Amino acid sequence: MSKEKVVLAYSGGLDTTAIIPWLKEQFDYEVICCCVDCGQGNELDGLDERAKLSGASKLYIENIIDEFCDEYIMPCVKAGAVYENKYLLGTSMARPVIAKKLVEIARKEGAVAICHGATGKGNDQIRFELSIRALAPDIKIIAPWRMTDVWTMQSREDEIEYCKQHGIDLPFDTKHSYSRDRNLWHISHEGLELEDPSVEPNYDDLLVLSVSPEKAPDEPEYVTMTFEAGIPKTLNGKAMKVSEIISELNTLGGKHGIGIIDIVENRVVGMKSRGVYETPGGTILMAAHEQLEELVLDRATYEVKKEMGNKLAQVVYEGKWFTPLREAIQAFVDVTQQYVTGEVKFKLYKGNIIKAGETSPYSLYSESLASFTTGDLYDHHDADGFINLFGLPLKVRAMKKLELENSKQQ
C-alpha cells in the first residue's frame, strides 16, 4: 500500500530541511517539497539536490512572480495599503499566493496534509493556515514548531545534529544570523541586535537590496513613470510588465537608499516585534501612484479610500486574503482607479523621493480656479454665505455657552 503524502512548504533552509526526515519519522508520510518562487533570487540554487538528499520524493519549484505582482501586490498598491503607517506588507502579501500554490500541488498529488515551518510566535502561521483553510478545509495542517511534544529541536545546533543522524550532512553553519524573508517586493530582517529596540541597526552588515542614504550617490536621479487605471505601464519611457518595473525600481531605489525602515510593529499574536525592512522599488511605486492619485481623486472619494486602504492593510496583515471583506474592499478600490491614468516625474536623492511634476488627462486640478484670479466658476462673494452656513453649528454652540455664562452671572 502506498504511503499518504504531505506537501511541505520548502525553502531549502535548515528548518525545512530538518522537517523532511521528521515528517517521515513521525507520520510515515511521503514528503513532496514545494518551493514557491516569489522572486527570492539565488536562494533557489541547488534546491532540487538538497530536497532529494534530505529524503523528499519530489520537489516542485513554482514560479509565481507575475501572479504575485499582478494579483496580490497591485491591489495593495492601488489601495495604498500600509500597515501601521510604515510597513508595505512584503511578507503579508506573499503568504496567500504561496498557500494557494501549496493547495494546488496538494490536490494534484492527492496529499492529505500540508506542512509549514513557521514558528508559533509569528504572523506567518496565521497567514498560511487561514489561507489553506479558506481554500482546502479538508486538508490537514502540520506546524512542527507548535508540536513541542514531538518536535524537540530548540536551536540550529539541534537541527544540524538531527539532520546528521538521518544521513543529511549539508553545509549549514551554526552561526546565528539575521532571520530574513525575501521576495521581489522586499526583504525583512529580524534577530541579532534588532531584538533590542534601543540599539541602532548595523546597516553595513544588514542591508541586502540597498545602501544607506549616507552612502548613496551625491547626484539625484530623475525617474518618469506612466500609469493606466492605477497600473504602472512604463518606466523612463520603456513599456514593461509590473514585475519588470518593480525589479528595475528595486535597482534604482537600492542605489539611492530608498525605502529602508526600522519599525516596532504589533503582531497579530499580541506581541510587539522589531524589524528592518528594505522595500526600495515598492516604496517608489507606492509614492508614484499616490502622486498621480492626488490629481484625479475627488476629496470625498480620497477620504474613504484612505480608510479602505488602512482596512485592507489590516486584513492582509492578519492573513485574511481569501475573505469576502478583502474582495469587497478591492472592488471599491478598483472603481476609484478608473481614472488614475497619467504620468509622474520625481527624483531620487539620498533616501528621498522628491516630486518633479505630474500630468493626467483626468486631472481635477484647474489652474484658473486655483489661482488668485476670479473666473466664471468662482465668485468670491459666494464664500460669505458658505462660511455662514458651514460655521453655523460652531456659532450656535458659542452663543449658547455665552448665554449660559451670562445667566450664571446674573
Asked if residue 179 belongs to a known ligand binding site, the reply is yes
Cα–Cα dist 232/243, whole Å: 10
Quickly count: other Cβ atoms within 10 Å of residue 32's Cβ: 25
Instruction: Supply 243's cell numbers.
Output: 514585475
Cα–Cα dist 285/353, whole Å: 10
Catalytic residue, from 15, 180, 182, 360: name it. 15
Note whether 183 and 192 are within 8 A (CB): no
Note whether 125 and 146 are within 8 A (CB): yes
Asked if residue 366 belongs to a known ligand binding site, the reply is no
Q: What angle do CA 15, 17, 22 make, to 5 degrees?
A: 90
Asked if residue 124 belongs to a known ligand binding site, the reply is yes
Instruction: Supply 80's cell numbers.
Output: 495604498
Asked if residue 87 belongs to a known ligand binding site, the reply is yes
Asked if residue 204 belongs to a known ligand binding site, the reply is no
CA dihedral 266, 327, 181, 288 (to 10 degrees): -90
Catalytic residue, from 70, 133, 179, 267: name it. 179
- Give whole-number Cα distances, 205 to 175, 177, 321, in Å: 15, 10, 34
Considering only CA atoms, which of 132, 70, 68 is closest in space to residue 94?
68
Asked if residue 123 belongs to a known ligand binding site, the reply is yes
Asked if residue 13 belongs to a known ligand binding site, the reply is yes
Asked if residue 283 belongs to a known ligand binding site, the reply is no
Helix axes 299-317, 90-109, angle to 10 degrees: 50
Asked if residue 92 belongs to a known ligand binding site, the reply is yes
Asked if residue 72 belongs to a known ligand binding site, the reply is no
Asked if residue 117 belongs to a known ligand binding site, the reply is yes
Asked if residue 299 belongs to a known ligand binding site, the reply is no
Asked if residue 270 belongs to a known ligand binding site, the reply is no
Positions of E strands within 215-330: 221-228, 231-235, 238-239, 260-266, 272-278
Residues in the chain: 410
The helix (H) or strand (E) run that includes residue 390 is helix 382-390
Q: Is 288 buried (19+), middle (13-18) or exposed (0-12) by CB count in 10 A?
A: buried
Asked if residue 301 belongs to a known ligand binding site, the reply is no
Is-catalytic flag, 107? Answer: no
Q: What angle do CA 275, 276, 280 make, to 5 degrees?
A: 145
Q: What are the two backbone dihedrals, phi and then psi, of residue 378, each rounded to the nearest 5 degrees?
A: -135, 115
Is-catalytic flag, 124? Answer: yes
Sign of the torsion angle spanned by Cα atoms 147, 152, 155, 158: negative
Catalytic residue, from 50, 95, 182, 274: name it. 95
Alpha helix stretches (DSSP H) within 176-274: 203-206, 242-255
Note whether 126 and 268 are within 8 A (CB): yes
Asked if residue 54 belongs to a known ligand binding site, the reply is no
Asked if residue 188 belongs to a known ligand binding site, the reply is yes
Asked if residue 28 belongs to a known ligand binding site, the reply is no
Catalytic residue, from 54, 124, 180, 181: name it. 124
Binding site feature residues: 9-17, 87, 92, 117, 119, 123-124, 127, 179, 188, 265, 277
**Residues identified as active-site:** 15, 95, 124, 179
Binding site feature residues for L-citrulline: 87, 92, 123, 127, 179, 188, 265, 277
Binding site feature residues for ATP: 9-17, 117
